[in-house]
Amino acid sequence: MEDYNIDEFSENPNNEFNSRLQEWQERLMISSIETNFKKIKEHGIDERYLKKMENVELIELQKTLKIMLEYYQGIEQYENCKIIFDNFQNVSKLTEKAR
């Protein structure tokens, strides 16, 4: 990921600043998604750990997995979608049991 110089942002008009900031946020989101996916693909999500999580944490994890799923659907990486979806279902089952 590219490094950004805050001085470069401040020298430009606000609309360009906002555009660059949004671009940086998108890159950061994609980087996070790809990092999380790599870890999930390599190690999965430990069901024992999931069972120890509070319901609110499980809900947040569901939201994160849904964002990841939407990202991979958008770029048509359906094998990645399958991996994320399987984990999403496991988390959803535990969330339902916790209610």
Q: Which residues contact 55 (CB under 8 A, 6 or more apart)?
A: 95, 98, 99
Q: Where are the alpha helices (DSSP H) in the chain?
A: 6-10, 14-43, 47-52, 55-74, 78-98
pTM for this model (two decimals): 0.77
* pLDDT value of position 94: 85
Q: What does the block give as tokens for 56? A: 């609110």
Domain ranges of the chain: 6-98
Q: Tally the residues of the chain.
A: 99
Q: What is the pLDDT of residues 47-64, one digit of tens each?
A: 899 989 999 999 999 999
Residues 6+ away with beta carbon under 8 Å from 24: 4
